[in-house]
Amino acid sequence: MNLRQLELFSMVAELGNVTEAGRQLYMTQPAVSQTIADLEDSLGLKLFDRINRKMHLTFAGEVLYKYSKKILSLVEEAEAHMLEITNNRIGRLRLGASTTIGIYLLPMLVGQFKQQYHAIQSTFVIDNTCIVEEMLLDNKLDIGFVEGLVHSSEIVVQKVKDDELWLICSPRHHWITAGKTIIAPEEIEGQALILREQGSGTREVVEKVLQEHGVDYHPWHVLNNTEAIKRAVMEDMGIAFVSQLAVKEEIDCGRLAKVKIKGIPISREFRLIWHKDKYHTPLLNSFIDLTMRLAE
């Protein structure tokens, strides 16, 4: 029993006439009759009584007709939903983001997107770059936003924008009280450096740049939350490297201070990442296009 057989069966049941059913479905009368006969043979039941050249449903035919209408209605509903998905009227996005992007950038992107696509469902996970990459490999996310380094050859990487990491300290730190806003690299040595956890994109980039420039540093505290790091720095517990997105407001109002390291700017890329075999729906492509436009 297949959908084409049910469609023909329902049409004959409603019209009571094989010839008329064939005409409406652009089929010959013998072809319709053969389809009905094949359906009856497969079920082992007679679906019609053929009386006075008119087709009358048997009891089995009446039962099947009720199911046929439900099935064909569900098929129409499914096709309508598929069309809405194709036209980006409904859909779902599973997004992942590393901490900085997830807190300070992704909500704005999703908010902008939902202004255009109101019925879109979206879920997003905020974790470090390593976890986002793992979830993409396990097909638990459609796309990810990260600032850290991606290690799997299965992952496609597309740059979105550059993000500068600022060295921050408390306004009470001796650098600031001495009027210093630019320090030499060797002045990092001995400072209480606060870092993110292992697997964090921010930490990976910071350590890579400092090591490349031969800067001697010692992690004193490890915190897995940018806001916690900012609070710790405000209390003069140490210094930290944090995205400009996360601290611009606090620096502007004087709750944190920014210090430059002479000759060592630290920046990283915000990137979109996805599995190389992931099918891009029209909805997903629309979201990527919006992200790239907003990042310009």
User: Tell me, what's the pLDDT at 115?
Assistant: 84
Cβ atoms of 183 and 259 closer than 8 Å: yes
Q: Which residues of 22-50 are buried (b: 16+ CB within 10 A; e: fewer)?
A: beeeebeeeebbebbeebbeeeeeebbee
The DSSP bridge partners found for residue 260 are 182
What would the pLDDT profile of 117-168 be if each residue is shown by its tens digit? 777 778 889 888 889 999 999 989 999 999 877 889 999 999 988 889 999 9
User: Tell me, what's the pLDDT at 79?
Assistant: 82
User: Tell me, what's the pLDDT at 265?
Assistant: 86
What would the pLDDT profile of 54-78 be if each residue is shown by its tens digit? 889 999 999 999 999 999 988 888 8
Name which of 76-80, 105-109, 138-142, 269-273 the model is least confident about.
76-80
Whole-angstrom distance, CA of residue 219 vs CA of residue 193: 5
Cβ atoms of 148 and 202 closer than 8 Å: yes
pTM: 0.65
What would the pLDDT profile of 202-249 be if each residue is shown by its tens digit? 888 899 999 999 988 888 899 888 899 999 999 999 999 999 888 989
Mean pLDDT for the stretch of residues 278-291: 87
Domain 88-296 classification at class level: alpha beta
Level-2 CATH architecture, domain 3-86: Orthogonal Bundle (1.10)
**Burial class, 149, CB count within 10 angstroms (exposed 0-12 / middle 13-18 / buried 19+):** middle
CA 95 to chain centre: 3
Mean pLDDT for the stretch of residues 4-22: 90
Which CB contacts under 8 angstroms, 24+ apart, belong to 72-80? 72/3, 72/6, 72/7, 72/10, 75/3
Q: Is the pLDDT of residue 86 over 80?
A: no
Mean pLDDT for the stretch of residues 76-89: 76
Whole-angstrom distance, CA of residue 19 vs CA of residue 10: 14
| Overall size of the chain counted in residues | 296
User: Tell me, what's the pLDDT at 116?
Assistant: 81
Cβ atoms of 9 and 42 closer than 8 Å: no
User: Tell me, what's the pLDDT at 136?
Assistant: 93
Q: Where are the beta strands (DSSP E) in the chain?
A: 48-51, 54-57, 91-97, 120-126, 143-146, 155-169, 182-183, 193-195, 219-222, 239-243, 257-261, 266-275
**Amino acid letter at 30?**
P
Rounded to 5°, angle at Cα 166 from 125 and 164: 65
- Confidence band for 47, pLDDT divided at 50, 70 and 90: very high
What would the pLDDT profile of 158-212 be if each residue is shown by its tens digit? 998 888 999 999 999 999 999 989 999 999 988 999 998 887 878 888 999 999 9
Q: Is the pLDDT of residue 103 over 70?
A: yes
User: Tell me, what's the pLDDT at 296?
Assistant: 67
Cβ atoms of 85 and 117 closer than 8 Å: no
Whole-angstrom distance, CA of residue 196 vs CA of residue 246: 14
Domain residue limits, the chain: 3-86, 88-296
Whole-angstrom distance, CA of residue 11 vs CA of residue 35: 12
Whole-angstrom distance, CA of residue 211 vs CA of residue 214: 5
Closest by alpha carbon to 89, among 117, 109, 112?
117
Rounded to 5°, angle at Cα 268 from 267 and 271: 155
Whole-angstrom distance, CA of residue 167 vs CA of residue 243: 9
